[in-house]
Structure 1
């Protein structure tokens, strides 16, 4: 049995890599460190490649693919430090395709496939932890709809997107669900966050009695299954992007140590350096295995999805941090300078490490899932 990706999946990955190599270098990224950080030409190019249409069903003008097909592409997004909101839009597409009403799907999915709609997920809150159960943003009944109040943090590109996919609790003690809102609506304010990663953008978004109709609730009613999938898809996507960033750092470290000469030879020929690069490669390959398995679970194994995604997020976060730190060290003193590009990968990996839950939170999920399996056995 062949567990590898298909020739078509690798070919698509190679096309995306070639485009990003040509179009989105770190030099280009440096020109977007100020302003809204959103490159419209890059967005249009990503759309033209079909990346935004991957998760859109064929009946809505998309490619009808799944997370296994998407895994290599998300890894490339991490490798090339692709800015948002492309990845968040892809995640939202999967949620809308699975849980949206027919009317919501007809209105949103064709626009996403054509590159005409950008969506960001609003999940994290300053008052809570990483668990969706800690959500304090509340939608209370108001007339024939709902009034949304609360505050979200670390919302990607909230000033550039067209829609926000917001996790909210319906009623003070009610179920969790998702609502779609326009960030320009009355009652919504945005404040820019200063991030460790200067190439990314995130905002605090405050909702003050924002009026919602029933058609703004994804699926027409609160769906905790949709919230759970959103969190898992976000964590798996972050795992794949961290793996991509770590892979690029390893390539940069191998290239540098192969060219840097000391005592008449490349420092990469010294045994101590070889061992450190070999350790980085082991971490990278095991990280890929975990991330790919999480993507497979999102597509094919709902029962094991949460556990496998949490295993990947915890491991990939630790591995990416270690690889990026080691790669920076192998560059010596110049590795710590602003002029060298390697710190951008470390910053992106650290930012993603805490996106959709850090390693400690996900290890708790793995432990809880394992104990539940033991009790059920």
Structure 2
């Protein structure tokens, strides 16, 4: 797996970034707006750096670089609001080189002496069109029926007019101008060019959105209201955190499309459409929230944020309503529409987990193929899906805890293979939290436990003979585990007496031990007076009471009345519980709920087919939108996993992955329940029951493992540099 650029690509990006910082500053952007939104000096400078030659083949005088390389330029162009039709020019110069017959114009375009743009729609059906850069373009490449044509634009036809973002667009009657055929029957070549343009626009919009969020965050770190920095208010920071997930997701959706094309994946074409539609929406919402963060000052033309607001809407709309591209994605997913796609060139990014990962997954698949169907029928996403014989089978093959080091798990599985193994277990439906919690407890005992715990408890966990539960939350604390009041008092003989209540001790009815966070000192700050213990659940003084949820799962409230345990069952130092808890972070891989979302989509497709609505546009659009959310969830999780394995800086990638996927799982489960109503009301066995259950399951995913609000605060702080929003 790789999210890094090559050294050469890093140099290309940095070179353009430095140039654009100096030559496409907001001062320069404003100056260009005074003369119609085009900066000739900037355009010439981009040409000198080879911008317009990037996608031109070497045999035609270009650099022969790939789509990904040009996308790096477009991200910087979006960040700096480039004054000119850059995405269109990148596509147009490549078309001129591919088709030939206009060598002099191509040379002028590469050199920045001429501006060449593209017409988005078939000239035969729509001769009058809005053209990006039409007010300054000498020529336009377009499609007319099955031919690709070059339209010469005389100065008299370049009629600039006031527009939304003061860009050099113009409505031109192309049918009334001099036209010549560049490529007879070359419609597919032009179609592929439009797909490439969608990707460039997606990436450019992500750059606009990212910069708008950065500007808003900087302002929120400076502006005070009611005596506090406004960035400390969750009403400010949380929407920005949500949008950071969205805008990063927009970029990564385009990355996925580029990667899919390089791999020849069937997902490439619908992913291009979804990347474009998603970026249009995410960028528009990001710049709007960015402007809102400035309050009334955001409306003032003296503040730059309004420039991003206008450009984010203006750049893509030259093509028309982005919602039509969502419909296009639906057709590509469900109606067999297959467009021509561009040759993308070399792509450095990779989401493959490797040969070892495939081998481990194959081994797991083989094991589960031998599990009887009546046993598989017991599988469930909750603790109640725990099946002792399956748990034991995995332990015997050293595959129960792939996230643990070899000296604990009995097997050396490299990090990417561990990620794949956990994904395969989920794909098989055996994703009970029991194994995950047992894995966490095993690691903590190995790191902080006494010899007695390592000899008496650890082998039982590793052998798959017992489960462990977590005793963190309490009825009055919720996500604030540091406010725990369940008391541990040390007795004269050194043992400990535990009294109190724990809430949401899921699996306590199945487990033998609970990992418990207790209050051992009330005279110090709350996070310093905590100690952790392993507590046997099948002992005097412990009461386990069921709490049933509407999600078809059971959790528990547990009561501890004078429970006595020896000091040897303590983990870590007295009052050092926070440090001890940190060991659990080593198991974080930044996952989410993609597998559950994928299963939900497949169930919805089956139900829609049964209802006879799968061919309807509304159905295809809503399923396509859910696929966009699924793929963004995947990409955010991949980035988090990659960053964790490769020891990259932590910018809140794990919380982003978890929070985003849980929130879209919740919203999409509602929407797909609506889409398939009234059949979705039923719990009939099969796809309908699963769809019904997904709606109920999704509600919990935004709560357990840390609520979305907790994760939003973490994203705001780590990803956007906003001040801490909680005590």
Superposition TM-score, scaled by structure 2 size: 0.44
SS in 1 for 2:150: strand
Partner of residue 171, structure 2: 204
Mapping 1:1-377, distance limit 5 Å = 1-98=1-98, 100-101=99-100, 103-104=101-102, 106-124=103-121, 132=122, 136-137=125-126, 150-152=127-129, 154-169=130-145, 176-184=146-154, 189-198=157-166, 200-207=167-174, 210-212=177-179, 216-219=180-183, 221-297=184-260, 301=264, 304-372=267-335
- Distance change in 2, residues 1:248/1:67 (3 Å): same
Q: Which structure exhibits the higher relative contact order, with contacts defined as CA atoms closer than 8 Å and separated by 6 or more residues? A: 1
- Distance change in 2, residues 1:209/1:352 (3 Å): closer
Q: What runs of 5+ residues in structure 1 fail to find an aligned partner?
A: 125-131, 138-149, 170-175
Deviations 1:218-260 (A, max 9, x none): 22x0322023123212222211111110011011011000011
- Distance change in 2, residues 1:362/1:30 (3 Å): same
- What displacement does 1:209 show? 5.0
Partner of residue 144, structure 1: none
Deviations 1:108-149 (A, max 9, x none): 44443333332011225xxxxxxx5x9524xxxxxxxxxxxx
Aligned partners of 2:85, 2:325: CA distance in 1, in Å? 24
Aligned partners of 2:190, 2:62: CA distance in 1, in Å? 23
Q: Find the structure with the greater CA-based Rg.
A: 2
Aligned partners of 1:294, 1:107: CA distance in 2, in Å? 33
- Distance change in 2, residues 1:299/1:44 (3 Å): farther
- Distance change in 2, residues 1:207/1:51 (3 Å): closer
Aligned partners of 2:259, 2:147: CA distance in 1, in Å? 25
Aligned partners of 2:149, 2:246: CA distance in 1, in Å? 38
Q: How many residues align?
A: 338
SS in 1 for 2:149: strand
SS in 2 for 1:180: strand
- What displacement does 1:16 show? 1.0
Checking the alignment, whether the CA contact within 8 Å between 1:95 and 1:229 is kept in structure 2 is no
Root-mean-square deviation (Å): 2.5
- What displacement does 1:10 show? 2.1
Aligned partners of 2:217, 2:238: CA distance in 1, in Å? 12
- Distance change in 2, residues 1:343/1:135 (3 Å): farther
Checking the alignment, whether the CA contact within 8 Å between 1:85 and 1:161 is kept in structure 2 is no
SS in 2 for 1:116: coil
* Deviation larger for 328-337 or 6-15: 6-15
- Distance change in 2, residues 1:159/1:362 (3 Å): closer
- Distance change in 2, residues 1:208/1:88 (3 Å): closer
SS in 2 for 1:217: strand
Checking the alignment, whether the CA contact within 8 Å between 1:310 and 1:366 is kept in structure 2 is yes
Checking the alignment, whether the CA contact within 8 Å between 1:189 and 1:207 is kept in structure 2 is no
- What displacement does 1:372 show? 3.3
- What displacement does 1:79 show? 0.8
- What displacement does 1:164 show? 1.2
Q: What runs of 5+ residues in structure 2 fail to find an aligned partner?
A: 337-604, 610-727
Checking the alignment, whether the CA contact within 8 Å between 1:314 and 1:359 is kept in structure 2 is yes
Aligned partners of 1:11, 1:3: CA distance in 2, in Å? 16
Deviations 1:3-22 (A, max 9, x none): 43223212211121111111
